[in-house]
Chain A
Amino acid sequence: MILDHAHDLKAFREAVRTWVRETAPPERSHEWQRAKGPELVAIQKWWMDERRKVGLATPHWPVEYGGAGLGLEHQIIMEDEFARGRSPGSEMFVISLNHVPATLIPHGTEEQKKTYLPAVAEGALWCQGFSEPGAGSDLAGLKCRAVLDGDHYVVNGQKIWSTNSMYASQCLLLVRTDPAAKKHAGITYLIMDMDTPGVEVRPIRKSTGASNFGEIFLTDVRIPVANRIGAENAGWMVSQSTLSSERGVLSFNYAERDMQFLLDWYSKSRHDKAAWLDDPELTREFVTLLGEMQSLRQQIRALLREPVDAPTWSMTPALVKVAKTTLNNRIHAFRIRAEGLSSQFVNTAWRAPMYEYLETFGMTISGGSNEIMRNLIAERGLGMPRG
């Protein structure tokens, strides 16, 4: 029904808007805004299922893998309307929706694509097993060992910072198959079912006290060779597709929601006659942050318009990554100062400033630390030599 309007962007937008309002009315938004942990997983799975029913789970995927072959424009409209309708998020499915197709479509076997891609719309939750305690920014230094044994790899090692691994059904796993080769040349890419014997997930408690990522301990885990993506020892090349998958649509959704939030928060401050509004130093800082948030939205739109297969390396994703993560940190730091002492009382309100502020320290590290981003900008963007 909604997809029938795909040829007419305006009508498509209207249809998505109406559907969001009916399916996840904004009056109920507090239900998904406050949920955490398993409750949040349940809500997001419900939302993904509702999306699936009307063809909006993976509409931008190719038709043969459960999509509708819609373009970026449709995806933007969809995310835009989700954000404006204050619908539940889908961040649990980041890996499932972005990294999995970006990896499987170019590198997977036909059987892997047919098995795993349509299952994403059915709610399959994937996690990523890339980082290790000794391999963070230096990802290629990973040591998790896989040894071929007949038609299986036997895997031993440890992964870390694996978001939602405690809820995931599958994992995109990087392992070392040739310890003698140069570090980039001995890595293999596997699909791991999380219920395989020998897989143990231990949630990591973050500075907020909550957990949404974990460590994965792997002890003699047997993974079929059929689950290998690409050739043995070609995993690093395959992983570059995974890492470049996030073309900003998700950032777009976040930025839309963050702008809504910032303006809503300001309106509420005015309604409550908050004391900070009488402090010109703070009100001016607010204007600066509002401007930068608006700028971020424009930057992400520009990023989305960049061709995915441009021949030259673009600095934009790295610039946006640093800009958005540091801006979020500054916005919540600002809210803490604006609110004063009461910001230090633990409360469970949605987007409590201290909670959000602590969360932002994860963002400046994950997805390539901001320091690595600055290296990329300097080396690849500005042609500065390595030290």
Chain B
Amino acid sequence: MNAVTQMVLDEAELITLRESIADVLASECDSRALHLWLDRDNDLGAALWRQAAELGWLGLALPEADGGLGLGARGLQILNAELGAVAAPGGFIPTLGVAQWLAKLAPEQSGSLLAAAVAGEAAFAVPAALEGAGALVSDGKAVSGSVEMLGCVPGAAKADYAVVPTTFGWTVVAVDGSAARLDSIDTWDLTRNLSRLELADAPVVATIADPEGSVGRLLGSYIALAVAADSLGAARAISLKTIAYMKERQQFDRPIASFQALRHRVADHMIKIATQDSLLEQAVRALDDGSPDAGMWARISKAGATEVFVFVAADCIQLHGGVGHTWEYDPHIYMKRARLNEALIANNRALRDGALAALDAALDAGRTTTELSA
């Protein structure tokens, strides 16, 4: 039970915080800036990262002892939903997720790393297919191998660290450009950064042993929650942008927003998004309360939220008509982000299998249905 995080800010203050984040992003990361970024005609990625550090966003979720605001999973949800809404470029999900995980599992060991992360000076990368990544070979002091990583905008932070599974558990290595190198991979989603991590006897910064797999699962839970929040913030935003467009766009001498067949489709967006919002709410609460079911809800939430995001983004392309298929309009940016989100951590089939295994384990342990559905 993490009662402290519950008391840091009340509901009204959380709403104010959310609005303040949304305001900054609306002015700094509007559609025009985002399109310039797609063509790499501005430095939006690095600028947003600096701004996030200056405004304390990178520490929202972290405990106060680590220089954070102590909002826990709720903080991850709020920030990532707003970042998703504007399809913000950057490596927020892996850095925020890893920082939260380190603060939870190894607060003493990782104090200086966390301070650097809060200041925006350190960024973390995690395997993009976190739950499918095989353990890299390590002797405990150095690690070698290669894995595809989800990371930060190159050069945005002074130092990049990679977190990878090894034969010793979960290992942090410093990306130094030689023993540990991140080579960018071109991806369809231009708002994210995927790269191939090449490790050749890279020195180990820290390792957290994971004999039962629970350490890795917790990291997966934080990342899953962040991906779900990003997806739902983004899905709502592209749907609302599309609705605004439908009110403007005239055909047959009337706005296309007046056609019932189309109105019902966007109503369905809202219904699906609201359902997934509540499921994410369940995962957030479970994680903040230290519930044994937190991992299960987080995985179900990631699977559901990313699928709804894909559905909504695809429908928004169609609802835009021809311009929905152009580079100039926004739907494709969201669609690409949605497809990447869907593929992160593990495919949604595997996540659901994992969730069911967790449910079975809970039932076998004699937990009652009442406890499970609390």
Contact = CB atoms under 8 A, between A and B. Distances in A.
* Chains A and B belong together in one complex: yes
Interface of A: 84, 259-260, 263-264, 266-267, 270, 280, 283-284, 286-288, 290-292, 294-299, 302, 315-316, 319-320, 322-323, 371, 373-375, 377-379, 381-387
Interface of B: 243, 246-247, 254-255, 257-260, 263-264, 266-268, 270-271, 274-279, 281-282, 297, 300-301, 303-304, 349, 352-353, 355-356, 359-360, 363, 369-370, 372-373
A295 B271 contact: no
Contacts of B370: 84, 260
Given A298-B279, A385-B257, A263 B271 contact: no
Contact of B349 (A284, A381, A382): A284
A298 B353 contact: no
A377 B267 contact: yes
Nearest to A256: B373
Nearest to B11: A305
Given A260-B369, A374-B268, A385-B258, A299 B247 contact: no
B369 A280 contact: no
A260 B372 CA distance: 10
Given A266-B359, A323-B274, A386-B258, 13 more contacts: A287-B300, A290-B300, A292-B304, A319-B274, A323-B271, A371-B264, A374-B264, A375-B263, A377-B271, A382-B267, A384-B247, A385-B254, A387-B260
Contacts of A296: 275, 278
Contacts of B372: 263
A378 to B, nearest CB: 4
B25 to A, nearest CB: 22
Contact of B373 (A263, A315, A374, A379): A263
A382 B266 contact: yes
B300 A291 contact: yes
A384 B353 contact: no
Which 9 pairs across A and B sit closest by C-beta, in order of nearness? Answer: A378-B263, A291-B300, A295-B279, A374-B267, A298-B278, A263-B369, A295-B278, A377-B267, A287-B352
A283 B353 CA distance: 8
A290 B373 CA distance: 10
Contacts of A283: 352-353, 356
A332 to B, nearest CB: 18
21 contacts: A84-B370, A259-B369, A260-B369, A263-B372, A283-B356, A284-B356, A288-B300, A291-B279, A291-B300, A291-B304, A292-B304, A294-B373, A295-B279, A297-B373, A298-B279, A302-B281, A319-B270, A322-B267, A378-B263, A384-B258, A387-B259
A264 B370 CA distance: 10
B319 to A, nearest CB: 12
A384 B303 contact: no
A383 B266 CA distance: 12
B373 A298 contact: no
Given A291-B304, A295-B278, A286 B255 contact: no
B73 to A, nearest CB: 15
B304 A382 contact: no
Which of A260, A264, A294, A379: most chain B Cβ within 10 A?
Answer: A294
A259 B370 CA distance: 9
A315 B270 contact: yes
Contacts of B369: 259-260, 263-264, 267
A280 B258 CA distance: 42
Contacts of A375: 260, 263-264, 267
Nearest to A321: B271
Contacts of B258: 384-387
A290 B359 CA distance: 10
A299 B373 CA distance: 14
B137 to A, nearest CB: 32
Given A259-B373, A287-B352, A385-B258, A292 B275 contact: yes
B275 A384 contact: no
A50 B308 CA distance: 46
B356 A286 contact: yes
Given A297-B373, A323-B274, A371-B264, A384 B356 contact: no
Q: Which of B278, B300, B352 has the most CB of A within 10 A?
A: B278
A299 B270 CA distance: 13
Contacts of A284: 349, 352-353, 356
A375 B266 CA distance: 10
Given A322-B271, A382-B243, A374 B304 contact: no
A260 B371 CA distance: 10
Q: Which of B243, B271, B300, B372 has the most CB of A within 10 A?
A: B271
Contacts of A286: 356
Contact of B356 (A287, A315, A320, A371): A287
Nearest to A281: B349
A302 B278 contact: yes
B305 to A, nearest CB: 10
Nearest to B263: A378
A34 B363 CA distance: 27
A298 B352 contact: no
Nearest to A286: B356
A315 B273 CA distance: 13
A384 B282 CA distance: 31
Nearest to B372: A263
Contacts of B264: 371, 374-375, 378
A385 B267 contact: no
A380 to B, nearest CB: 11
Nearest to A255: B373
A270 B363 contact: yes
Nearest to A285: B352
A267 to B, nearest CB: 6
A359 to B, nearest CB: 21
A299 B276 CA distance: 10
Contacts of B259: 387
Contacts of B268: 374
A84 B369 CA distance: 9
Among B274, B279, B300, the one with the most A-chain Cβ atoms within 10 Å of its Cβ is B274
Contacts of A288: 300, 303-304, 352
Contact of B263 (A292, A315, A323, A374): A374
Given A294-B297, A384-B257, A287 B278 contact: no
Nearest to B239: A382
A383 B257 CA distance: 9
A288 B275 CA distance: 11
